[in-house]
Amino acid sequence: MLEIRNLEVAYGSIKALHGISLKVPEKSIVTLIGGNGAGKSTTLRTISGLVKARSGQVIYDGQDITNMPPHEIVGRHLCHVPEGRMVFANLTVLENLKMGAYLRKDKVGIAEDIEYSFNVFPRLKERISQHAGTLSGGEQQMLAIARALMSKPRCLMLDEPSLGIAPILVRAIFKQIVAINQERGITILLVEQNANLALGISHYGYVLETGKVLLEDDAKTLRQNPQVREAYLGD
């Protein structure tokens, strides 16, 4: 469904990605792991059009979407939940969800998807009229994912969903990421520093280091790799 071919990205004179290539099959969960500065977030930001590629291609659903404007990429049902959640703090939970559906005109479908979001994250229904800025970090992450679901994504990119969140909520969020993938068949590209957790729910994984793909394999094998265990799993 999603393929990156020899992607190069630079911030001024500093190269962030050195010709990386990766594939995300339809209805799979693929994870990118690596340390700070490895290029994980840059990869997602380039796919979603927020950062311009210097060279290489982003192929989505058979179409070249390299450097396409972000709103057009969302219109193709490829959605990005950014690091730091980026909820609209002064809007309520419900208003945030409606913002996620800004490209849609199907009122019945929008209402159904709001209800689905509340089924996925019941805590949001309890907070429906609260301003998003008053929610806990975990609740804001739930809202960011639910807001992305409102765009009816076929492919969902999640950047560090566990960052700064209480462990009990992290487990709840990851459980629902799996449910979204299985129930709705949504393809997921996951960037996550908690490598053990990410590889535990993924089908395939890539290890990025200084803007290059260092290793790739199915998630179970990668989880057992001594190099990965020492560097990212704390063994």
Delineate the domains of the chain, giving CATH numbers in brackets. 2-83+152-232 (3.40.50.300)
CA angle 137/140/142 to nearest 5° reads 115
CA angle 42/55/189 to nearest 5° reads 35
The token duo for 29 is 């969960």
Written as tens digits, the pLDDT of the chain (235 aa) is 999 999 999 999 999 999 999 999 999 999 999 988 899 999 999 999 999 999 999 999 999 999 999 999 999 999 999 888 789 999 999 999 999 998 888 999 999 999 999 999 999 999 999 999 999 989 999 999 999 999 999 999 999 998 888 888 888 899 999 999 999 999 999 999 888 899 999 999 999 999 999 999 999 999 999 988 888 876 5
H/E run at residue 208: strand 204-209
pLDDT at 230: 86
pLDDT at 199: 94
pLDDT at 37: 87
pLDDT at 234: 64
Q: How far apart are CA 120 and CA 172, in angstroms?
A: 10
Q: How far apart are CA 182 and CA 134, in angstroms?
A: 31
pLDDT at 4: 97
Q: How far apart are CA 218 and CA 190, in angstroms?
A: 14
Sign of the Cα pseudo-torsion (63, 64, 66, 67, in order):
negative
Q: Are strands 155-159 and 78-81 parallel, antiparallel or unpaired?
A: parallel
Residues 97/146, Cβ–Cβ less than 8 Å: yes
